[in-house]
Amino acid sequence: MSRFLIIGLGNIGPEYRHTRHNIGFDVVETFVLKHGGLFQAGRLADIAEVKWKGRQFVCIKPTTYMNNSGKAFKYWMDKEQLPVEQTLTILDDLALPLSKLRLRPSGSAAGHNGLRDIELLLGSDLYPRLRFGIGNEYPKGMQAEFVLSKWRTEELPIVRQKVDKSVEVIESFASIGLERTMNAVNTLSFA
């Protein structure tokens, strides 16, 4: 049975629920719910295990806060004895407009503290990630407030559509692979 580690990045605590920065948590929660799983407290993360079409997914939401996401990523990857190619990290991205999703096999942290910590602990930027565009419509100097803000009402239809598509991306990644999934998702535009 093929096995995968799915990591949704975010911050724990009710004040962060459903904020832009927690979209990784929202996607992984939606994936687990769709496949009948439940999260339980685990070491360094809330964890759920689900099966789909002969594949097993260990899904985590790190409880280490965003800036220390690498600890949970590395711990669970090592514990489950999975190669980095069988991991998928889901995160928010300020550099992408709300209309976009971007799947990549590697890349720079681009100022994202969660990715920076993962790269520090892995010693590499070679790990698959799904970037969920959150836009960058904020006044100068207000980046932190923007990423920690809730979605505006008019954005919610696109956010829901992209969360559902992100769940399909996880399934596609596990069934047809990274390259073919990238070709299908990176050209999409949501409106």
Catalytic positions, written as ranges: 21
Q: What is the DSSP letter of 150?
A: B
Q: What angle do CA 18, 31, 53 make, to 5 degrees?
A: 175
- Cα separations in angstroms, 97 against 15, 103, 132, 142, 174: 24, 14, 9, 17, 26
Q: What is the DSSP letter of 36?
A: T
Backbone phi, psi, residue 131, to 5°:
-95, 125
E strand or H helix at 25 = helix 23-34
